[in-house]
A and B are shown apart, each in its own frame.
Chain A
Amino acid sequence: MAMEDNDIIQLFFDRDENAIKETSVKYGNYCSSIARNILKNWEDAEECVNDTYLKAWNVIPPNRPTMFKAFLGRITRNISFNLYKKMNADKRGSGQIPFILDELAECVSDGKDPYKELEKEEIIKAINSFLEKLPQEKRIMFVRRYWYSDSVVDIAKRCGVSENSVSVNLNRLRKRLHNYLYERGFEL
């Protein structure tokens, strides 16, 4: 029986190493699936999941995550994507990322200047507001594709629609996101 999130977090606060074990039991598969969507290679993905536990160990305390699962998923996504960039993987062997990045390229201008942290915060707020206005089904499609890096096939199965429907919806959502951000002064 998996432990409650609060109890696991308390183990982190108590500096009890069982925190890692319990996290792995409850959320190991969840983190692995995120890492594997990005990296595809099991060994690399597993390394990222282990790094996720280490990172969680280092930041809890002082942090006390309110949504532990999403908190771990976010760390996994971050570490996995950093490894992906480091490996500079080619299009054929690296999961969904090359395709997802190509899709996101439709929303940006490929400008050279990196965005500052403050500006990024503002963009996140705008994206959250964009997501809030979407019907649930479309929001789930967007988050599964661009946050979880799921394949179109997996999204179609999850949402009970055809792959074509997912592709068409994602295409429209990217355009809508681009326009939404542009109208709010973000020239990405």
Chain B
Amino acid sequence: MKKEELYEIIEGIDENYINEAEIVQLKRRQPAWMKWTAVAACLCLIVIGAIQFSVNRNDNTNVQQWSQSISAKDYFKNSHKANSQNVGSSASLVMPPYAVAVSINDKRSVLENAGVLPIMPSHLDHGFEVDYNGDGSLYKVTFLWMRRGEHGLDEYSDLQLIASPKELHEVNDVIAFSVDEDGNTLPEVVTVTERDGILIYARGKENEEKIIAWQTKYGWYQIVGSWNDSYEDMVELLDWFWEHPLSLSDFENIEEGKIVYSNRIDYPDAFCDQIPDFTALGYISEIETVNVGLCDGNLVPVWFEGIYTRGTVRISWTISIGADANAWKACLGRPNEITEEKLNDALSQSQSVNVFFDSPCMATLKIENGTSSDAWEIIQALQK
């Protein structure tokens, strides 16, 4: 029998099993939103803000139950209590959290016809984009619908759906937080609504940016509305995606050619100043991979992975031009800013550390069966 025949035969299995596999939800992971914590700064100059909002665990004690009669405003009923303010620019944007951005603006009608996206007749303009990490994995998908009136700002609207496989963090140059009348910082106040067993978090108030966020088996989702989008506009979009869940698997495969998977021999100059001379340190190179992709419209190296061994010591050196919040959190600074003590301390808590380069890119050093002296030797090679 041929494998295609077996695949066709499986088509005939009992309909009860087909239904079961569609309907039954085996386990529901605890919403990871509950684990959100505020994202801190790294490298003194760089401040990382979460594009979502952090949720205080205590806020979850006050969860309202969804019902058919719940109004759009109810989703935000506690959110308006905080007086949110944007406070100054404190950092410069140095690095995107993803490596490759692919526009899918031409897919609007196809996605609408396929029932993947709602039809938004009053939003004539749009910006759809899929962002990938340097290794080709999906970072996020953004659907932005825009409306610009002919007479002033009355009709202004920017509605976005952002979806991602993992919790998102982006590097921002402005951090928003809330202050009371005396200027003291207030904890983030959100409204939490449980709907079909899923917690929905809403933040924002009238005449301000609003966000609705939730997590499902498919991924992380947030709807972002401008100051001029009403609660009803936001919830209408939420209801649509509730009925038509967006599956991220549709966007996981990067379009052919947007990332070229290659090796270092083909791109000898790729990240040449960010890869230590492992050979000079007595290491043998096992793998050296370079991915080339679209960054700001140019085809450039976006990712590198090298595996090097010396005796039993195994080093993985990965470089990406995109860095998410986790990368920043594990970042020790530029090579010249790293001391042996700082490195020892970091390696006592983790197998890997990140190094920042102004190019900009971020390298991850992972060490197996080695000591912190081996790692320090590599950092020193970069300091020269």
Residues of A at the B interface (CB closer than 8 Å) are 28-30, 32-33, 36-37, 40, 42-43, 45-46, 66-67, 69-71, 73-74, 77-78, 81, 85, 92-93, 97, 100-102, 104-105, 107-111, 114-115, 120-121, 123-124, 127-128, 131, 136-137, 139-140, 143-144, 146-148, 150-151, 153-154, 157-161, 188
Contact = CB atoms under 8 A, between A and B. Distances in A.
B14 to A, nearest CB: 5
Contact of B217 (A43, A93, A114, A158): A158
Given A40-B253, A42-B110, A78-B8, 16 more contacts: A43-B110, A66-B15, A67-B19, A70-B19, A104-B6, A108-B3, A108-B6, A110-B3, A128-B13, A131-B14, A136-B24, A140-B26, A143-B17, A143-B20, A151-B252, A158-B26
A71 B25 CA distance: 21
A139 B11 CA distance: 15
A108 B5 CA distance: 9
A107 B21 contact: no
Given A107-B6, A160-B28, A147 B218 contact: no
Given A33-B247, A108-B3, A42 B13 contact: no
B22 A85 contact: no
Contacts of A124: 9, 12-13
Interface in B76-135: 107, 110-111, 113-116
Main secondary structure of the interface of A (DSSP, over half): helix
A154 B249 contact: yes
B7 A46 contact: no
B18 interface: yes
A77 to B, nearest CB: 6
Given A77-B11, A120-B12, A140 B20 contact: yes
A144 B101 CA distance: 31
Contacts of A159: 26-27
A148 to B, nearest CB: 7
A121 B26 CA distance: 30
Interface centre among B19, B26, B28, B111 (most CB of A within 10 A): B26
A30 B22 contact: yes
- Contact-size category for B: 35 or more
Given A108-B5, A120-B9, A131-B13, A42 B26 contact: no
Contacts of A102: 3
A89 B257 CA distance: 17
Contacts of A46: 110, 113-114
A121 B9 CA distance: 8
Contacts of A148: 21-22
22 contacts: A32-B115, A42-B111, A42-B116, A66-B15, A67-B19, A70-B18, A74-B12, A78-B8, A85-B4, A93-B256, A97-B7, A108-B1, A108-B5, A120-B9, A120-B12, A123-B9, A128-B14, A136-B24, A139-B21, A143-B18, A147-B17, A153-B249
